[in-house]
Structure 1
Amino acid sequence: MKSELKPEALVEFVRETYQTNKFIPLHAPTFAGNEKAYVLETIESTFVSSVGKFVDDFERQIETFTGSRKAVATVNGTAALHAALYMAGVARGDLVITQALTFVATCNALYHMGAEPIFVDVSPVSLGLCPKAVDSFLNEYAERTDIGCIHKSTGKKIKAVVPMHTFGHPVELDELVAICLKWNLALVEDAAESLGSFYKGKHTGTIGDFGAVSFNGNKIITTGGGGMVLCKTQQQGARTKHVTTTAKVPHPYEFFHDEPGFNYRMPNLNAALGCAQMEVLEPYLKQKRLLAESYKDFFNGTDFQFVTEPDYAQSNYWLNVVICSEREQRNELLEKTNQAGVMTRPVWQLMHRLPMFEHSICDDLSYSEFIEGHLVNLPSTPLSYQQGKQ
C-alpha cells in the first residue's frame, strides 16, 4: 500500500536537498565558468551584434555535442522553430500535427507562418506526441494523394509532424519517423527543452528533418535568449543560415538579398555566454541526473508518480515532474509549496483551450487532459548552483 505524502514533507526534502531556507526557484541559470570573461571579451572587441567569433564557435560546439551536421544560431527558440518549419516546407494554409500539451511557442511559430495545428494526444511513455495517436488520426481522417497528405474534411494539406520533447524526455522517434515516411510528412523536432537528451544514442533534434533548441534563461544552459536550428546536411545548414541572416548575398560592399529572409541572427554577445555554458554542460547534466535520482527515491512508495526517462532514452531531466493521484492533491501541493517559498508549477494549459487555437482540429486528448490536471513541476536547478549561493 502506498503512503500518503504531505506537501510539508516535500518542502522539507527540497530545502534539505538545496541546503537553504531562502526562496528556491524552479530552474535558475547557472554561471560557474568563463561567462564573465567571454562576455567581457566580446564587449572589448566591439563585435557585440551578429558578427563575431563566438557565434561560429557556439555553432561548432553544438554540432560536436549533438552530432548535427550543421547548427545555425538564432535569436531565440521560437525563431529556430519557425526557421526549421520554413525549411521543412511548411507554408501558409498547411496543417501540422502536434501536441496540445506543449508551451505556446510551438503553436505560435505555426500561427505566424499561416499554418494551423492539429492536436493529437501525448504518450504515457514520454509525455510527448504519441505515435499511436498520430497513426490513428491519419488513418481515419487523412488520405495520401499525388499532391501529398490531405485532410479529408477540409481538403487542406497536412505537411508536417512536430513532436515536443516534453521536459527533456525524448518521444518515440522511430515510430514517428516511420509514420512520416508512410504519409510523406516532414518531421520537425521541437527540442527546445532537450539539450543533453538522447534517443537510442542519438541526440534529440538530429533525427527528424530539422530540430530546434532553445537557450532561454530557464533552460539547461542559456545565452540569455537564443536558439539553434539543427540540420541533417551541410546543404540544409547553408540555406538555413542564409534565410535567417536576411538572405543577403555575400559581396564586399553591395547589399543584395535574393529572397525574403528573416533577421533571426544570434548576437555575438549571447553566443559568448553560450560558449562558456557549453564548457560546463557535462557537469550540469550529471548534477541533473543526481537530483532526479534523489526525487525518485523520495517519491518511491508514495501516492505520487515521479516521471522517469523512457527505457529507450537518456533524458536531461530539464524539469523534474511528479504526477498526483488527484486534481485536489495537485492543487494542494502547488498552493502549499509556493506559500513556503519553494517554487512549483503546473503544466501549461492545453493549447486548444487558448483563444487563438480554440477552433483548431483536435483528436481525442484524454491523456493530455489527465496530465493537465495532475502534473506538477519541481525545483530542478543543478544542485551545485544553490549550494554555492549559501
Structure 2
Amino acid sequence: MSADWKDIAQKIKKIHKNKDFVPLHEPSFTETEVEYVTDCIRSGWVSSVGKYVDQFERDLADYTGVKRAVAVVNGTAALHISLKIAGVQAGDEVIMPALTFIATANAVSYLNAVPHFADVSETTLGLDPIKLETYLTEIGTMKNGVLVNKQTDRIIRAVVPMHTFGHPVDLDPLVELCARFNLALVEDAAESLGSFYKGKHTGGFGIAGALSFNGNKIITTGGGGVILTNDDQFADYAKHITTTAKIPHPWEYRHDEVGYNYRMPNINAALGCAQLEKMDLFLNSKRKTTVKYAELLEQLDGVKLFQEPSFARSNYWLQTMVLDEKFHNRNYVLEQLNEKGAMARPIWTPINRLEPYKDCQAMDLTITNNFNERIVNIPSTPLKGDPHE
C-alpha cells in the first residue's frame, strides 16, 4: 500500500512510547552512571589519570576481544593516531568510502595525507571489496613493496572501511586485498560497538580500529573514543603520544617528540564504565526495534528496512529506511516525519561533494550516489523501559 508518512510518524512515536517528539538517538542513563561519576568527582581524579580510565580500557578490550584498548578524547582522534602509527605520511593516499561522516576524511587530512574515495556495497552500506580490488588493480602498480597510484604518483598507504550505522563491512576479502597490496587496514568502527563479523567483533581485523562514544552513539562517555589493537607496541606508543609524548618521571617535564593532548578524562570514562555494563540490554532493545520497524514498513510500497548482512550481527545503531525513488521523494519523507515529531535524517552527503574534498580522486560512485538519494534514518534510541528491566 502507499505510505501515509504522517501516520507512520505517529506509529513511530507509539513504538517509542512518546506522544510529542522522538529524537533520532539519545543516551539512556540510570543511577549507575550517577554513582560512578559522583565517585569520580569525590576522588578528585577527574582528568586523564584515574581508575575509571584503566577500567574502561580493560573492559572494552575484553568486550571486543582485542589485546589492548587506548581511551582518547573522541573517535576522530582515535582515527588520527591509528593512521599515524600505521605509517600514513604526508602526501600518501588513504582509501575510504565516499559515504561516511566527514571525520574519516578529516583524520587523514590531519596527517597532510589525501583521502581517495571508493564506492560502497548494496549489501553492507560499507566499502565494496570486490569493486575496490578491480579499481586498485587498474589504477595502481606495486613499486618497492608499496602500491603507487599511476595517475598521481602518490603512495596508497592504507584503507579505512567504515561500518555504516553499525552494519559490518565484508571484512575477509578486504583483509586479503590489503595483504595483496601491502596496505594498512584501519577500521572506522565509530558506529559499530556491539557488531560482529562472522562471530568476531569489529575493530580487531586490521592493525587498529577506532570507536566513538559521542552522545548519540550506542553507549556514550559524553565525548570520547578508543583505539583498539592486538599489537602491544602499537598500544604503548598510542598511549605515549596521546599523553603529549611525556616521558614518565617523578617530577620532570620531558617529552621526546611532538605529542597530542588526546587522553580521555577519568570522569568521561566513569560514565563509559556504567554504560558498558548495559550493552546487552541496549543491543536487545535495538533488535526489538528492528522487528517492530520491519513489521511497520513491510506493507508499504517502495520502502524497506535495511537489515544486517547474512555474515554479520549488527548493533543496529541507527535504523535505516531505503526508499524506492519511483515511489518516494526523500526530502518529502524527511519533511513529513520531522513535522510530525518523528526525527529523521538523510545519510551524509558523499564527501567528494564537500568543499574541502571536492578535488580528491574518486572511483565510480554509482551505489554511493544512489543511496544518498534513498536513505532515511529514523528514531533509534533504545526503547523506553528496556535498559531498566
Structure 1 length normalisation: TM-score? 0.97
Which secondary structure does the structure 2 equivalent of 1:246 belong to? coil
8 Å CA contact 2:282, 2:387 repeated in 1: no
For 2:206 and 2:359, the matched residues in 1 are separated by 28
For 2:299 and 2:183, the matched residues in 1 are separated by 43
* Structure 2 unaligned spans of 5+: none
Q: 2:252 aligned with 1:242, yes or no?
A: no
For 2:25 and 2:330, the matched residues in 1 are separated by 20
For 2:145 and 2:234, the matched residues in 1 are separated by 23
Give the superposition deviation at 1:133.
2.1
Range that drifts further, 299-308 or 76-85: 299-308
Which secondary structure does the structure 2 equivalent of 1:193 belong to? coil
> Which structure 2 residues correspond to residues 178-327 of structure 1 after superposition, within 5 A?
178-302=176-300, 303-326=302-325
Question: What code does the residue aligned with 1:319 have?
Answer: L
Give the superposition deviation at 1:255.
1.5
Give the superposition deviation at 1:384.
2.4
8 Å CA contact 1:99, 1:163 repeated in 2: yes
8 Å CA contact 1:18, 1:386 repeated in 2: no
Question: What code does the residue aligned with 2:122 have?
Answer: P
8 Å CA contact 1:97, 1:120 repeated in 2: yes
For 1:130 and 1:9, the matched residues in 2 are separated by 36
Which secondary structure does the structure 2 equivalent of 1:98 belong to? strand
Which secondary structure does the structure 2 equivalent of 1:117 belong to? strand
Which secondary structure does the structure 2 equivalent of 1:240 belong to? helix
- Tell me what 1:355 maps to: 355
Give the superposition deviation at 1:182.
0.3
For 1:94 and 1:33, the matched residues in 2 are separated by 48
Query: What whole-Å deviation, never above 9, does each CA across 1:84-119 have from its counterpart, x for those lacking one?
Result: 111111111100010110001001111111111111
| Distance change >3 Å, CA 5–CA 387, structure 1 → 2 | farther
- Tell me what 2:75 maps to: 77
Give the superposition deviation at 1:135.
0.5
Query: What whole-Å deviation, never above 9, does each CA across 1:4-42 have from its counterpart, x for those lacking one?
Result: 222123112212211221211000011024111111111
Query: What whole-Å deviation, never above 9, does each CA across 1:307-354 have from its counterpart, x for those lacking one?
Result: 000000000000000111118532221001101111000001110110
- Tell me what 1:335 maps to: 335
| Distance change >3 Å, CA 385–CA 264, structure 1 → 2 | farther
8 Å CA contact 1:19, 1:387 repeated in 2: no
For 1:181 and 1:228, the matched residues in 2 are separated by 25
| Distance change >3 Å, CA 94–CA 385, structure 1 → 2 | farther
For 1:52 and 1:168, the matched residues in 2 are separated by 30
Range that drifts further, 237-246 or 310-319: 237-246
For 2:22 and 2:335, the matched residues in 1 are separated by 15
- Tell me what 2:47 maps to: 49
For 1:365 and 1:386, the matched residues in 2 are separated by 40
- Tell me what 1:120 maps to: 118
For 1:33 and 1:382, the matched residues in 2 are separated by 17
8 Å CA contact 2:213, 2:225 repeated in 1: yes
Give the superposition deviation at 1:387.
10
For 1:124 and 1:380, the matched residues in 2 are separated by 21
8 Å CA contact 2:247, 2:256 repeated in 1: yes
8 Å CA contact 2:73, 2:263 repeated in 1: yes
Which secondary structure does the structure 2 equivalent of 1:255 belong to? coil
For 1:305 and 1:191, the matched residues in 2 are separated by 25
Question: What code does the residue aligned with 2:115 have?
Answer: P
Following superposition, which runs of at least 4 residues in structure 1 exceed 6 angstroms of deviation? none
> Which structure 2 residues correspond to residues 65-214 of structure 1 after superposition, within 5 A?
65-214=63-212
Which secondary structure does the structure 2 equivalent of 1:72 belong to? strand
Which secondary structure does the structure 1 equivalent of 2:203 belong to? coil
- Tell me what 1:25 maps to: 23
| Distance change >3 Å, CA 182–CA 312, structure 1 → 2 | same
For 1:365 and 1:298, the matched residues in 2 are separated by 31
8 Å CA contact 1:95, 1:160 repeated in 2: yes
8 Å CA contact 1:33, 1:279 repeated in 2: no
8 Å CA contact 1:33, 1:276 repeated in 2: no
RMSD over aligned CA atoms reads 1.3
Query: What whole-Å deviation, never above 9, does each CA across 1:152-189 have from its counterpart, x for those lacking one?
Result: 01110000000100000000000100000000000000
Structure 2 length normalisation: TM-score? 0.97
Give the superposition deviation at 1:386.
9.2
Question: What code does the residue aligned with 1:234 have?
Answer: D
Query: What whole-Å deviation, never above 9, does each CA across 1:212-268 have from its counterpart, x for those lacking one?
Result: 000000000000000000011222211111111111111111121112211110000
Q: 2:35 aligned with 1:37, yes or no?
A: yes
Which secondary structure does the structure 2 equivalent of 1:54 belong to? helix
For 2:339 and 2:294, the matched residues in 1 are separated by 24
The count of corresponding residues between Structure 1 and Structure 2 is 386
For 1:133 and 1:387, the matched residues in 2 are separated by 41
Range that drifts further, 360-369 or 8-17: 8-17
